[in-house]
Amino acid sequence: MTERFTGSFTQQEPIPEEGIEAALDVLRSGRLHRYNTAPGEVSQAALLEQDFARMTGAKYCLALASGGAAMTTALRAAGVGPGDPVLTNAFTLAPVPGAIAAVGARPVFVEVTPDLVIDLADLEAKAGQAKVLLLSHMRGHLCDMARLMDICRAAGLIVIEDCAHTMGAAWNGTPSGRWGDFGCYSCQTYKHVNSGEGGLLISDDAEAMARAIVLSGSYMLYDRHIAAPEPEVFERVKYDTPNISSRMDNLRAAILRPQLAALEAQVTRWNARYHEIEAGLMGVPGLTPVPRPEAESFVGSSIQFLLRDWPEASVREVVARCAARGVELKWFGAADPVGFTSRHDSWRYAERQSLPRTDAILAGLLDMRVPLTFSLEDCRLIARIIRAEVSAVWQGQAAAE
């Protein structure tokens, strides 16, 4: 009998009971807005910022409405404005170039490597074209961050890290988001903590974070933040920084705080699932796994592999055959966007750019979510299905030659 997977690739675990109770307390109080506090009360949003700053080792943290809001706020706080070029990975998701476009700036794409990280040689060649790098740790893959920062410092680049897929990850022990000037995180349902939507922004730069807090819509209530610069820093920026309301509310913050406390244990669970799938895909003819460097502590909430130099029709056949057996693979080589998946030449708000190395990689790149609702046996079954279907198409190609 042909095996079939019947689980869901989009079903998340329930919110922890502690988070549900905290959310109910907020609902009973009616004080959902982060600045609507009783005398002597510290809001859940302010406490979340304090929790996350401590967890990452950052001086300052700001809770926002989304990961995209974290990126646009960081770009504005860094001084990026209309027409400015901003470097970013050619392999990422649409909210990253979208954040650049949202502030009126121009994405300048940097090639990626077969390891799915930014091409540091191409970055070095293009570093003089911009003053900011919005670095996407796409699908949880970290490049050599020490070398990247050497390149950026030499070129005078401000580095904003998009850590939507790397909350809980690190390079040589330094958390993602702590290498650059800013770290941006997402709390959207399919990320490592789940409040439906939400974002977090960290930095050690007092003036930049003061601007970010005012940008987020603090009005003159910045004294109700804990993980924030001193009041005198706000005095320097408050009159020339616009209010672009993008705050997180207390309800979402209440849901998130227990999840942050459990993140380390959740990372261990994700990685156990990742390793089961990875082991099951080793040695499949025509399938190239993506290596994980020893210096990288990653979170295996998704997995990728390459069908390098395969014809488009064969890649599509693998996706279709796996889908028929209940396994949802996303292909990054399609000409048109599908769901969350798109490639650089479909973002028509960005100037079309020649990226031949990236195009060759995306043509054979397949991606799959690994939710914690999968059991380890689920992961072994999924790996067997992918292995069988890739092998079948590979053998069919060989027979046709």
Inform me whether the pLDDT recorded for 123 exceeds 70. yes
Buried b (16+ CB within 10 A) or exposed e, 295-310: ebbbbbbbbbbbbeeb
Q: State residue 397's pLDDT score.
A: 84
Tokens of 382: 């999924």
φ, ψ dihedrals at 84, nearest 5°: -70, 135
Q: Give residue-wise pLDDT tens across range 312-332.
A: 999 999 999 999 999 999 999
235 three-state secondary structure: helix
Inform me whether the pLDDT recorded for 71 exceeds 80. yes
H-state helical runs in 138-230: 145-155, 206-216
* Average pLDDT, integer, range 15-27: 98
pTM above 0.85, yes or no: yes
Instruction: Go through the domains of the chain in sequence order and give each one's CATH number.
Output: 17-261 (3.40.640.10), 263-400 (3.90.1150.10)
In 59-208, which ranges are E strands?
Answer: 60-64, 85-89, 106-110, 132-136, 158-162, 170-171, 174-175, 182-186, 199-203
Q: Give residue-wise pLDDT tens across range 342-398.
A: 999 999 999 999 999 999 999 999 999 999 999 999 999 999 999 999 999 999 887
- For residue 188, give the amino acid letter: Q
